[in-house]
């Protein structure tokens, strides 16, 4: 069993790459959304270079706090920081991969991809307005599917979470009542259900609680064989949550339109687009306290852009387009040592 799969199966609130930490290793912390792919990359990178990655999967909020405090070499977040926040803390932000958030359920007899939901129904479930799987609105979408007369337990992130930000951004786009009552943020005042820490915690809780529904990054659903639901997209279609659908959502993205590449990929047009798609981001300081270590961080992600696409695709993440990687390399020139020179010459 692979290290990250083992962590997920145990439902650990904090997962860490299962390699012995060495003095020269890179340290990072933050988003749980990309943890499966960072684990894969770290294993391959150590084999290629001898340098390891010690990454703590603690949630986007924790990653932002740790990079602000300079207790790690990089922070990771799924909720991109705005220009003012990047400027205030002297941070450079760049995306690594794209992926999708999926809703997963634990309903006896319901196989993956068989239950259909709309964004409005998901919003009403999490708002506590729809409380039974046998609700007529759900039944009307799922003719022929046997759903129980059972109370739904919504499972949400208990920590400050970029995955929650992505999920609630989508709900705010498709449900005006949700937007008015709860809005979009890394934490919201959930009116119903129970919380789990990290994608790992939500995964474990959904597996343990009959008739639960949760939201997790798609790799967690895939690796743990969770029963995911289909969600109607903006075009009225029900695509499978896979790399084709995530790529379709990002097809017309304007990466230059926001500082730090902080664009939204949720609720995009297109028949094949998965409606809850997003990029995940890395944060590093512009003024490198340890230029060698900062260069090592950039070398790791440069290696990932060049060599990690297949590993990412195997987990249903979508690699970034080559032109975006070129823009990121330009952005990296802002990361400088005490001599005022970029820590890494591209």
Domain boundaries, the chain: 3-99+278-332, 101-252
CB atoms within 10 A of CB 68: 16
Provide the pLDDT for residue 22. 55
Provide the pLDDT for residue 51. 95
The residue whose two tokens read 């195997």 is 314
Provide the pLDDT for residue 17. 53
Both tokens of 7, joined, read: 């962590």
Report DSSP state, residue 144.
Answer: T
The CATH architecture assigned to 101-252 reads 3-Layer(aba) Sandwich (3.40)
Domains 3-99+278-332 and 101-252 share a fold: yes
Contact between residue 127 and residue 191 where contact means Cβ atoms under 8 Å apart = yes
Q: Which fold has domain 3-99+278-332?
A: D-Maltodextrin-Binding Protein; domain 2 (3.40.190)
Rg from Cα positions in the chain: 20
Mean pLDDT of successive 10-residue segments in the chain (346 residues)? Answer: 35 43 81 95 96 95 97 96 96 96 97 97 98 98 96 97 96 98 96 95 97 95 94 97 92 87 92 96 97 97 97 92 93 96 91
pTM for the full model? 0.86
Both tokens of 222, joined, read: 């895939």
Residues 6+ apart with CB under 8 A from 44: 307, 308, 311
């Amino acid at each position: 069993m692979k290290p990250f799969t083992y962590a997920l199966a145990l439902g650990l609130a904090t997962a860490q790459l299962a390699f012995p930490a060495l003095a020269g290793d890179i340290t990072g912390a933050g988003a749980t959304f990309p943890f499966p792919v960072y684990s894969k990359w770290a294993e391959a990178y150590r084999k290629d270079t001898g340098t390891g990655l010690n990454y703590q999967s603690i949630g986007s909020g924790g990653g932002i706090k740790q990079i602000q405090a300079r207790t790690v070499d990089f922070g990771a977040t799924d909720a991109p920081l705005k220009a003012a926040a990047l400027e205030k803390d002297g941070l450079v932000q760049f995306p690594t991969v794209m992926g999708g958030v999926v809703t997963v359920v634990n309903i006896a007899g319901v196989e993956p991809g068989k239950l259909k939901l709309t964004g409005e129904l998901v919003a009403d479930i999490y708002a506590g307005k729809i409380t039974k799987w046998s609700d007529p609105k759900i039944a009307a979408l799922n003719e022929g599917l046997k759903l129980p007369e059972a109370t739904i337990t919504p499972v949400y992130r208990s920590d400050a979470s970029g995955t929650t930000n992505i999920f609630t951004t989508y709900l705010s786009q498709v449900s005006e009542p949700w937007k008015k009552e709860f809005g979009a943020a890394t934490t919201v005042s959930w009116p119903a259900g129970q919380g789990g820490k990290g994608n790992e915690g939500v995964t474990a809780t959904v597996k343990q609680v009959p008739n639960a529904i949760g939201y997790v990054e798609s790799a967690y659903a895939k690796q743990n064989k969770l029963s995911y639901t289909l969600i109607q997209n903006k075009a009225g279609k029900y695509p499978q949550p896979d790399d084709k659908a995530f790529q379709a959502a990002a097809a017309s993205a304007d990466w230059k339109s926001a500082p730090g590449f902080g664009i939204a990929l949720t609720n995009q047009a297109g028949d094949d687009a998965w409606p809850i798609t997003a990029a995940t981001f890395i944060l590093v300081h512009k003024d490198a306290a340890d230029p060698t270590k900062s260069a090592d961080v950039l070398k790791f992600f440069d290696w990932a852009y060049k060599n990690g696409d297949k590993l990412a695709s195997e987990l249903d993440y979508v690699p970034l387009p080559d032109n975006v990687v070129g823009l990121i390399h330009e952005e990296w020139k802002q990361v400088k040592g005490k001599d005022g020179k970029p820590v890494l010459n591209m």
